[in-house]
């Protein structure tokens, strides 16, 4: 409730709201595609963070790479507004916030091979088995990542839950992704990452390269995960 009240107070401030609305893309009737070149007014490599939370990582990265475009995706209304306020206040012309479900965004709304890099850090593990249907990662999402990741692009993932990491990594590899030695840049840079590291909790992270363009992958919801993940990538 405190977070809701804080978000409400900030949203009522004219400048904060104006800054937020300038960068906010909201799912609505008739919005079927995301066209980054039109949104940003330029063609540039595109990085997308799914589940950007309060934006600690994406704001810093967008400032570091002004030659790239960034979309921060967040479903929660309260969190997405706070994220939009933060991104708007940063004054970065290469950063936008998409308030929508990441799954249809990846499956339907982004053009094939249009994303240079995906960042997916600490997605909700929904630990109870009856809640697994709410998880972000499924073989269908992995298929969508194959469809939308550029041939030379990357998918960077991190989680603090070992079992979930094993499932995620297996899904991506089952979709044709190849695991690399590259470090996942958000594995230590998000708010959750800093919290878990401070508590001494392990972080399981990896970076993946997509299969060659044109490789087929059938989204098999019965795909079995590997037994356990490796450590941080």
Residue range 41-71, pLDDT digits in tens: 999 999 999 999 889 999 999 999 999 999 9
For 190-209, what is the mean pLDDT?
A: 85
Is the distance from CB of 233 to CB of 207 less than 8 angstroms?
A: yes
**11-15, 32-36, 37-41: which range is least confident on average?**
11-15
Rounded percentage of the chain residues whose pLDDT exceeds 70? 79
The verdict on whether 160 is a catalytic residue reads: no
pLDDT at 46: 98
Residue of 37, 124, 152, 182 marked active site:
124
Calculate the average pLDDT of the chain. Answer: 83
Instruction: Pick the range with the lowest mean pLDDT from 151-155, 157-161, 169-173, 223-227.
Output: 223-227
Strand partners, 157: 120, 206
User: How far is Cα 212 from Cα 11, in angstroms, rounded to an integer?
Assistant: 45
Strand partners, 69: 46
User: Which residue from 223, 213, 70 is spatially nearest to 147, judged by alpha carbons?
Assistant: 213
Residues 6+ apart with CB under 8 A from 91: 19
Terminal CA-CA length for the chain: 37
The predicted structure's pLDDT at residue 23: 78
Distance CA 51, CA 208 (A): 18
The pair of structure tokens assigned to 168 is 């995620």
Task: Set out the domains of the chain in order of their start, with CATH numbers.
Answer: 9-26+33-209 (3.40.50.150)
pLDDT, tens digit (0-9, with 9 covering 90-100), for 76-117: 778 888 888 889 899 999 999 999 999 999 999 999 999 999
The encoded tokens of residue 186 equal 């958000």
Indicate the SS3 state at residue 18: helix
CA 97/CA 20 separation, integer angstroms: 9
């Amino acid at each position: 409730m405190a977070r809701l009240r804080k978000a409400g107070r900030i949203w009522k401030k004219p400048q904060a709201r104006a800054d937020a609305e300038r960068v906010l893309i909201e799912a609505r009737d008739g919005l079927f595609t995301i066209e980054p070149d039109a949104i940003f007014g330029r063609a540039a490599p595109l990085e997308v963070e799914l589940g950007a939370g309060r934006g600690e990582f994406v704001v810093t990265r967008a400032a570091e790479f002004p030659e790239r475009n960034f979309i921060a995706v967040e479903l929660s209304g309260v969190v997405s507004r706070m994220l939009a306020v933060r991104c708007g206040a940063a004054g970065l012309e290469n950063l936008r916030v998409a308030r929508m479900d990441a799954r249809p965004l990846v499956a339907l709304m982004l053009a094939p091979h249009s994303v240079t890099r995906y960042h997916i850090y600490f997605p909700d593990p929904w630990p109870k088995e009856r809640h697994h249907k709410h998880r972000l990662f499924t073989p269908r999402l992995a298929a969508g990542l194959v469809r939308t990741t550029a041939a030379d692009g990357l998918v960077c993932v991190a989680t603090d839950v070992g079992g979930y990491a094993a499932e995620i990594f297996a899904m991506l590899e089952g979709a044709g992704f190849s695991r690399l030695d590259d470090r996942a840049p958000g594995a230590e840079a998000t708010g959750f990452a800093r919290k878990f590291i401070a508590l001494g909790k392990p972080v399981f992270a990896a970076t993946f390269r997509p299969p060659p363009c044109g490789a087929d992958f059938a989204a098999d919801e019965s795909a079995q995960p590997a037994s356990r993940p490796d450590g941080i990538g």
